[in-house]
Amino acid sequence: MTWLAETVMLSHGWRRFLILVAAGALAAASVPPFFLLPALFLALPIWVWALDGAEHRRGWRGLVGPAFQIGFAFGLGYFTVALHWLGAAFLQEGGLFLVLMPFAIVGLAAILSIFWGLGSALAHMLWSGGAFRIVTLASLLAIAEWGRGHLFSGFPFDLIGYALTANDEMLQLASVIGTYGLTFLGALLAMTPALVWPADQRSLVRRLVPIFLAVAALAAQVAYGNWRLNTTTLSARTDMQVRMVQPMILDHADWTTADPADIINRLIQLSESKVSPADPGLPGITHLIWPESVFPFFLTNYPDGIALIARMLPDTTLLLTGAPREPLGDDGLPIPDNPGYNSILALDTNGEVVASYDKSHLVPFGEYLPFQGFWRLFGINQFVPGTNGWAAGDGRRLMSPPGSPAFLALVCYEAVFPGDIGDPKDAQFILNVTNDAWFMGSIGPAQHAHHARLRAVETGLPMLRAANTGVTLSVDPLGRIVAQLAEEQVGVLDVVPSEPLPGGTIFNRVGDLPFWVAVILGVLGSLLASRRPARLA
């Protein structure tokens, strides 16, 4: 390890760049669903050692100098590997998209790596040379991760903090400090080996103290999670019996060839199926849930289909379904220049739409094209078919259909934004409808589902997640999976959700305050430490 530390510190140019790319790729093994946490402990110290040997540049040049290149290279390796599953969507499209796939994945990784490059450059400006330097880099990296999740529409997939959520016990700390807090903690702990090597005049025991402290912190996290799981009592709801349908409807890829009657009949047949001889079917079900993208057409423009749905629904059953919604003006005609919404609709037994939610956080290039005039010169459209992309809704809000507890509605990747899913105060549960069919055969669906689970832990609300191709699951307020369907399994899942966690969570009350306190103190401490004489420790 001493040899590795010295090699990294003395490297420069393309050799250093390749070392950092490889280290970032190794760190990506720590994200869901792999959770190889030791990979993070091996990789992040290389970033620290590289900054130890990096040349200093004064003023604004430091923002694009060697320290920026170090963080950028690490991020390029990390994001290329962690987000490689996005390439599965290009395989679904075929044609020109196959040629674009490697450029798109590496291009996205490069864009996201800019955040890490800037964090690395700012950290190097405050570099102390002492032990506090890992606090400096962890603080600036955590701030960069917050920026990645919020700026330019945000893309918070695979935050470093997810490496600390490998099991139910480790999940629980998110109820206190949130996922961004876990990101700061994970980065800081994983950098501690950088304080052990290279060897110097200190004794081996003294050099190993940082790793002992990191292991103790991880043990404390698991102990807290175990205590919380064993001391929290949950109650099942008495007013809800839910059936979620996972139909594997792949017609969403081409609106021009979809057969509305066939799709609706398939959904009805699945919804009325019996999971056991004693199962009465839909009678007794209060909430029937269909996922996103099962309708490659505007449902409200197909009255015969709505009539079929109405006849299927018992008097006490409410249908909650992902569906495109066509906006109509006061004259009953489509609103010009509004392509429609990717929505959740609530339909009652009369076939009436009694509540709706329009997705407000759209996926760039997936559901709309930034600078679409430019991209369409090359024949490139958004991935998700529709009339002309989708319009954004009016923001996160509760859905409160008649006769149903209020809930937070999230469409697809809206569930991956920590602390930004709406006000949980009056919600009784979270509903997430999604379509991960674009990423079948990759780690994407499992990763997406795990990210969504953290929102249940952070808010103390149970989550119902209906996915077209998987993973459909029910999660309790502690983030534990109560029941699920396997990926690409056609079937239904009957569950009774839990009541919300009594009193909510600490994260509900204070949000990202612990995170900001930690990183601001880290930056202020770095300012003080950088003025002291440099000393590796």
Pairing relation of β-strands 287-290 and 318-325? parallel
How far is Cα 156 from Cα 150, in angstroms, rounded to an integer? 8
Phi first, then psi, for residue 529 (nearest 5°) are -65, -30
Q: Which pLDDT does position 109 carry in this prediction?
A: 94
Q: Which pLDDT does position 537 carry in this prediction?
A: 45
Q: Which pLDDT does position 183 carry in this prediction?
A: 98
Task: Write out the catalytic residue numbers.
Answer: 292, 359, 412
How far is Cα 110 from Cα 102, in angstroms, rounded to an integer? 12
Question: What is the count of structural domains for the chain?
Answer: 2
User: Is the C-alpha dihedral spanning 215, 217, 220, 225 positive or negative?
Assistant: negative
Q: Which pLDDT does position 384 carry in this prediction?
A: 55
Do the beta carbons of residue 258 and residue 251 sit within 8 Å?
yes
Position 127 pLDDT exceeds 70? yes
Neighbours of 411 (CB within 10 A): 27
User: Is the C-alpha dihedral spanning 526, 530, 532, 537 positive or negative?
Assistant: positive
Any domain includes 506 = no
Q: Which pLDDT does position 258 carry in this prediction?
A: 85
Position 333 pLDDT exceeds 90? no
Indicate whether 157 and 64 sit together in one domain.
yes
What CATH code is carried by the domain that includes residue 272?
3.60.110.10
Q: Which pLDDT does position 95 carry in this prediction?
A: 55
Pairing relation of β-strands 429-434 and 341-347? unpaired
Position 39 pLDDT exceeds 50? yes
- Of 193-197, 277-281, 401-405, the range with the lowest mean pLDDT is 277-281
pTM of the shown model: 0.92
Indicate whether 268 and 345 sit together in one domain.
yes
Any domain includes 301 = yes
How far is Cα 138 from Cα 124, in angstroms, rounded to an integer? 12
Range of the domain at 216: 2-231+511-529
Any domain includes 437 = yes
Cβ-proximal residues to 35 (8 Å cutoff; 6+ apart), any chain: 163, 165, 166
Mean pLDDT for the stretch of residues 125-132: 88
Any domain includes 534 = no
Position 411 pLDDT exceeds 90? yes
Comparing CA positions, the residue from 434, 501, 419, 499 lying closest to residue 473 is: 434
Indicate whether 411 and 496 sit together in one domain.
yes
- Which of the residue ranges 2-6, 91-95, 246-250, 251-255 has the most confident prediction, judged by mean pLDDT? 246-250
Indicate whether 275 and 374 sit together in one domain.
yes
Any domain includes 536 = no
Indicate whether 209 and 266 sit together in one domain.
no
Indicate whether 307 and 174 sit together in one domain.
no
Comparing CA positions, the residue from 362, 354, 361, 358 lying closest to residue 340 is: 358
Indicate whether 395 and 520 sit together in one domain.
no
Any domain includes 336 = yes
The pLDDT tens digits for 431-477 are 999 999 889 989 999 999 999 999 999 999 999 999 999 899 999 99
Indicate whether 494 and 520 sit together in one domain.
no
In this prediction, what percent of the chain has a pLDDT beyond 70? 91
Position 376 pLDDT exceeds 60? no
Indicate whether 210 and 277 sit together in one domain.
no
In what side-by-side order are the strands of the sheet with 463-467?
A: 398-399, 407-411, 429-434, 463-467, 473-475, 481-484
Cβ-proximal residues to 118 (8 Å cutoff; 6+ apart), any chain: 63, 68, 71, 144
Indicate whether 227 and 276 sit together in one domain.
no
Indicate whether 295 and 427 sit together in one domain.
yes
SS percent in the chain: helix, strand, coil, step 5: 50, 10, 40
Show the tokens assigned to 373: 């005039």
Indicate whether 486 and 373 sit together in one domain.
yes
Any domain includes 516 = yes
